[in-house]
Structure 1
């Protein structure tokens, strides 16, 4: 499957794409509005970074205990949990004159509610599309993320400048309600693939297997840590633009989203399947290298170019996620991708918190360069271990297991 016409020929995938678009618009509006309130109230890079990217830290509890619900619940019901919680949270955020600390508590609500079902979207996509459509389907959903981050952050900057913040939150709540309706009436229910009993024990057992395997553990770490450190750079866009004397945080977010969008289009549409794994390492390095240039405190035009080029490297995640499809049990697909998604968000939140903490002491541009250097170091360390999950190695391991079974 190589064309957008093919993936969009599936009606439920079209619904899933629209859902992803609206969801990212909601998240972008809500995040930028909340970050603006927090930075204006506290002038703290750390708290602003936590508002932008810290919510997923709450998913650690659910990922460790009840993430298996992604496979035991019907996929439509599981997919409804987080947008419904987002709608409630945005309505609460719209209450005027809330203390900024109470807004942080409200921010945690959708992540707490959705931590048990975070793999449901990828499980649903995998059930809608054939196996050879995974990378293009995933890239197309990422396309929705990139486009709507560009639109959401750009529109959010304009709306915040011209409307009360409570009105922006109400718009976000309306978007969340639209997502709930689209999922309820546009997606057919499918039964769970795992029993609902012993959920905590099964969740822990599958997590131990995935994170203990020398094949899948490096893939998860490569998806989580280098990306999370670069998100830590992005979490400092608002302090960086303030230091530079230019109010351009929304523009920086939009440009980096456009870079991610470009990378996903190229990987999903143009790179042949036989070449995807060959470009994983160069793209993982590209994700961090441009941010080293922030050590020189570049002006806004150069910063925009550096952010755009670096974000193209995010598309390395697509072939890495494809490796998880080929090296894990299909019956656990929701938890496999739920763990990947939860770990990614936790890595992003940790990177944002780390960046914000360092930026309390150092200038934002120097902090961004330090985080980029750390990302490069981790990527280099993980490169040898990632060879175990490469397609050729996976086939060799399968053959070895088959030969062992025959001799047994």
Structure 2
């Protein structure tokens, strides 16, 4: 290919909303591929957990199988981040899908031992941050860096949230009629279909050549060395560490207040449902300027509903608190726009990879810290403390962001600000 095609963005005029994103042909292919891979991965996690438990009879090994979906994220995201900029995006995406399809296919083989199953799961998780970062960076090429990109990112997040809710139910249903290995075979087929969609549904674009000479460590310094970009990154990373606490501790909290399994299931859905509703509202009803204005107030107030835990509330109050905390997540749409404007184009791939890596890794850290704290303090006080600490952290980050550079209202999407490359 002699040159990269220009980003084809649908106009994001008033009232366009999410429909403007689906007018872009390439995005439709990326969206469908994302849906297939997320659903397939959720089904694989459930089936693999059941398979390992049946083979070993060990709850610890079963739990470890699920945890391996998170643990390799930090290593893979750090070591592979530079690949997102040094290689053509479509080639990276298709390659990651094929690696995951091959790993899932190997899990299906009857002779694969438990240790092999765990290694294969690690391999899938190892390439996941590279795939996510490359896809998120390529969205800016496909949709342009303006408001259509923000809405595209929002849709991808909502798909991930919804697919997890649907996928767990679908996985449980599949395992009533299929053996675990047969369910995993569907995952392999899903990754293959995703690879085909990305290969034939998206355009070939060259690598970001300016990043080809930088090492992974140099790229990490370039992303986190800039004061404003570092503050934006931390504003994505750190709030979930605290927001995850009520989710991680819902089972012991429900047991402590005498709630049944049905109430527990409803409470577990509250935060993701609120998150999806908040993003739908912000993306459909608000324009880019309004979303930008709401970043600070929504981020600062997002964890305040969780303070109701101090009174050790019942199911109804917990549901309302979790829904409100989820709704406040709408601030990420404005934050997305600030972030893509702050990242130099030649570092966009590794920046997005590191962003995904930090989000997944720190959520796992947050779960572990919440569980550890609950060993020494009542669950309702742990959640209350997480809300207080989280709000304090967000306020400090917002102050740092304001000091690094004032947060003006976003410019017209087509005139997104560009920064010169960072020298290494």
Closer, same or farther in 2 for the Cα pair 1:281/1:126, shift >3 Å?
same
Determine helix, strand or coil for the equivalent of 1:119. Answer: helix
Structure 2 Cα separation of the partners of residues 296 and 89 of structure 1: 48
Preserved contact between residue 68 and residue 335 of structure 1 (Cα < 8 Å): yes
> Which among 116, 126, 131 is matched to residue 112 of structure 1?
126
Moved more, 91-100 or 230-239: 91-100
**1:161-180 correspondence to structure 2 within 5 Å:** 164-180=179-195
Deviations 1:339-392 (A, max 9, x none): 211111121121122223334455555543433333222112212012235542
Select 1:273's aligned residue among 288, 292, 305: 288
Distance in 1 (CA, whole Å) between partners of 2:65 and 2:324 is 25
- Aligned counterpart in structure 2 of residue 17 of structure 1, from 14, 31, 39: 31
Quote how far apart the aligned CAs of 1:29 are: 2.8
SS at match of 1:215: helix
Across the aligned residues of Structure 1 and Structure 2, the Cα RMSD in angstroms comes to 3.7
Q: Select which of 220, 225, 234 maps to 2:238.
A: 225
Whether contact under 8 Å (2:100, 2:188) holds in the other structure is: yes
Secondary structure of 1:392 counterpart? coil
Q: Please give the alpha-carbon distance, in whole angstroms, between the structure 1 residues aligned to 2:383 and 2:93.
A: 35
The one of 86, 91, 98 equivalent to 1:77 is 91
Q: Give the Å deviation of 1:216.
A: 1.0
Q: In the comparison of the two structures, how many residue pairs are matched?
A: 395
Structure 1, unpaired ranges of 5+: 403-408
Tell me the residue number matched to 2:151: 136
Distance 2:155 2:187 in 1: 23
In 1, are the aligned partners of 2:50 and 2:62 still within 8 Å (CA)? no
Structure 1 residue 168, shift from structure 2 partner: 4.0
2:382 pairs with 1:382: no
Q: Distance in 2 between matches of 1:102 and 1:252?
A: 36
By how many angstroms is 1:219 displaced?
Answer: 0.8
Whether the 8 Å CA contact 2:210–2:346 is kept in 1: the answer is: no
Q: Which residues in structure 2 correspond to 1:198-347 (within 5 Å)?
A: 198-199=213-214, 201=215, 203-241=216-254, 244=258, 246-248=260-262, 251-347=266-362
Match in the other structure for 2:5:
none
**Cα pair distance change 1:31/1:389, threshold 3 Å:** farther
1:121 aligned to which of 135, 147, 155 = 135
Determine the C-alpha separation between the residues in 1 that align with 2:339 and 2:48.
35
Equivalent pair of 2:145/2:341 in contact (CA under 8 Å): no
Structure having the higher helix fraction is 1
User: Residues of 1 paired with 2:311 and 2:44: CA distance?
Assistant: 32
Change (3 A) 1:268 1:166: same
Residues 1:114 and 1:149: Cα distance change in structure 2 (over 3 Å): closer
8 Å contact kept, 2:98–2:192: yes
Q: Is the 8 A contact 1:139 1:318 kept in 2?
A: yes
CA distance in structure 1 between the partners assigned to 2:169 and 2:294 by the alignment: 31
Structure 1 position 42, deviation (Å): 6.3
Per-residue CA deviation, residues 108-159 of structure 1 (Å, 9 max, x unaligned), is 2212124445421112211111332221221222232233233223333444
Match of 1:406 in 2: none
Please identify, of 156-165 and 94-103, the stretch whose mean Cα deviation from structure 2 is larger: 94-103
Distance 1:373 1:79 in 2: 40
Distance 1:82 1:348, change over 3 A: farther
Quickly say closer, same or farther: Cα 1:278–1:394, change in 2 above 3 A.
Answer: closer
What are structure 2's unaligned runs of at least 5 residues?
1-11
Instruction: Give the match for residue 101 of structure 2.
Output: 87
**Structure 1 residue corresponding to 2:161, chosen from 143, 146, 159:** 146
Aligned twin of 1:392: 408
Residues 305, 108 of structure 1: alpha-carbon distance in 2 compared, 3 angstrom cutoff:
farther
Provide closer, same or farther for how the CA distance between residues 342 and 259 of structure 1 changes in structure 2, counting only shifts above 3 A. same
Judging changes above 3 Å, is the alpha-carbon distance between structure 1 residues 352 and 102 closer, same or farther for their aligned structure 2 residues?
farther
- Describe the SS at the equivalent of 2:274: helix
State the match for 2:371 in structure 1.
Answer: 356
